[in-house]
Amino acid sequence: MVGLDNAGKTATVKGIQGESPEDVAPTVGFSKADIKQWRFDITMFDLGGGKRIRGIWKNYYAESYGVVFVIDSSDVGRMEETKETIAEVLRHPRISGKPVLVLANKQDREGALSETDIIEFLSLEKLVNDNKCLVRYRERTPEEIGAGVALEPCSAAIGHGKKIDKSIKNGLNWLLRVIAKDFEALHERIGKETAEQRAQEEQDKRERAERVKRLREEREVLRSPECCWQFAVLLNNFTSPWALERQLHMKGYHPLFQEIFCPQTLKCFINGKAGKFPSQRH
């Protein structure tokens, strides 16, 4: 379950679980909910929607069978941000082709945008067609189904459990039916993509370890007597601390400006006082 912060994701999850959605605190990171619906055992991840946390969303795409995207219908000022965010989600290769339930939440608030207005604001029809996503339709006639895209207008705050907003219940049931219908193909895809993601994470981990190893080796070189001798020569050739500092940078002695590698004599020379860094920049 994704969407901008304050869209009502956690309130929606709590309502599905049968808990009161009142006094919900913003989600920091993510929260996990295990839900029993029909014959399904569902694990739902409620992911934080703040700008700084959205980067973690992609870590959950590979093992997700479906997506619920929650929109704050009453927050007109953030519709452009919502448009960019939902576009980024639907375009991701590990989401493209999977079923997506879009909940236009907070319909009980004054000034909430209608279903038609939100579709227009978000250019949702084009996004869905371009990325081949199956998006939840509200109840339509057979002639209308497939003619465009519709959201589920709802309000997570008006009830919970058996009294939850009917649109949320219908939307979730639709999502589960679609997943069940195509479960084998989805399960095979998720197994493949999860394995690929884990392999990539292992490769990234090895590359990080190699970078750390190289950095440590470079620092060991800077501790050598040869480097200390070159350092002393530089120290004797400059009367201006800033000229010395520039020359050290040009010669690649950046780690020397870290406290553990900066000789006491250099600290005294540049600052006139021991125990200080050469400058604020370092």
Question: For residue range 21-47, what is the model confidence (pLDDT) as tens digits?
Answer: 777 766 667 888 898 877 889 999 999
106 annotated ligand-binding residue: yes
Which token pair is 88?
């980024």
Q: Where are the beta strands (DSSP E) in the chain?
A: 30-37, 40-47, 67-72, 99-105, 134-135, 152-153
Domain boundary (181, 214, 244) is at 181
Domain of residue 64, CATH code: 3.40.50.300
Give percent above pLDDT 70 in the chain: 68
Q: Which residues contact 119 (CB under 8 A, 6 or more apart)?
A: 125, 148, 149, 150, 151
Is 6 annotated as belonging to a binding site?
A: yes
3 is in an annotated binding site: yes
126 belongs to an annotated ligand binding site: no
Residue 278 has pLDDT above 80, yes or no: no
Strands 30-37 and 134-135: unpaired
Residue 51, φ and ψ in degrees, nearest 5: -55, -40
Same domain, yes or no, for 90 and 229? Answer: no
Of the listed ranges 3-12, 96-105, 254-263, the one predicted with least confidence: 254-263
pLDDT at 224 over 80: no
Residue 261 has pLDDT above 60, yes or no: no
CB 160 within 8 A of CB 21: yes
CA 74/CA 92 separation, integer angstroms: 27
Whether 108 has a binding-site annotation, put simply, is yes
User: Quick one: CA dihedral 34, 36, 37, 41, positive or negative?
Assistant: positive
Instruction: Give the tens place of pLDDT for each residue, 41-94.
Output: 999 999 999 988 999 999 999 999 999 999 999 999 999 999 999 999 989 999
**105 among the known binding-site residues?**
yes
Q: Are residues 89 and 161 in the same domain?
A: yes
pLDDT above 80 for 272: no
Q: Is 159 labeled as ligand-binding?
A: no
Last residue of a domain, one of 130, 150, 181: 181
Q: Indicate yes or no: pTM above 0.75.
A: no
Q: Are residues 236 and 114 in the same domain?
A: no
The residue among 13 and 253 whose pLDDT is bigger is 13
Q: Is 141 exposed, middle or buried (0-12, 13-18, 19+ CB in 10 A)?
A: exposed
Across 183-198, average pLDDT: 94
Domain boundary among 181, 208, 238: 181
Residues 116 and 252 in one domain: no
How many Å apart are CA 94 and CA 96, to the nearest integer?
6
Domain housing 266? 224-282
* Same domain membership, residue 158 and residue 263: no
232 is in an annotated binding site: no
Q: Terminus-to-terminus CA distance in the chain, angstroms?
A: 42
- Domains in the chain, number: 2
Is residue 4 a known part of a binding site?
yes
